[in-house]
Amino acid sequence: MKLGQVSRFNILQYLGIGLAVFLTLTGCQTLFKPPTASQIHLKLGNPSQATTDPQNSTNFLIEKPEFVLSYNSTTGTANWVSWQLNPSWLGIVKRQNNFRPDETLPAGWYQVQPNDYRGTGYDRGHLVPSGDRTKNLDQNSTTFLMTNIIPQAPKLNRGIWSDLEQYCRDLLKQGKELYIITGVEGKFKTIAKGKVTVPAWNWKVIVILDKPNQKITENTGIIAVRMPNSNSFKKHWRDYQVSVDEIEKNTGLDFLTNIPKTVQDKLER
> In sequence order, what are the residues at sequence separation of 6 or more whose Cβ sits closer than 8 angstroms to the Cβ of residue 49?
59
CA distances from 199 to 37, 99, 103, 152 (A): 27, 20, 23, 8
Taking the alpha carbons at both ends of the chain, their separation in whole angstroms is 71
Q: How many CB atoms lie within 10 A of CB 45?
A: 18
- Phi and psi of 88, rounded to 5°? -65, -15
Beta bridge partners of 23: none
Burial of 39 (0-12, 13-18, 19+ CB in 10 A): exposed
- Phi and psi of 10, rounded to 5°? -65, -35
Helix ranges, 154-214 (H) = 154-157, 160-172
Q: Of these residues, 43, 64, 124, 126, which one is catalytic?
A: 126
- Catalytic annotation on 41? no
- Residues classed as catalytic: 126
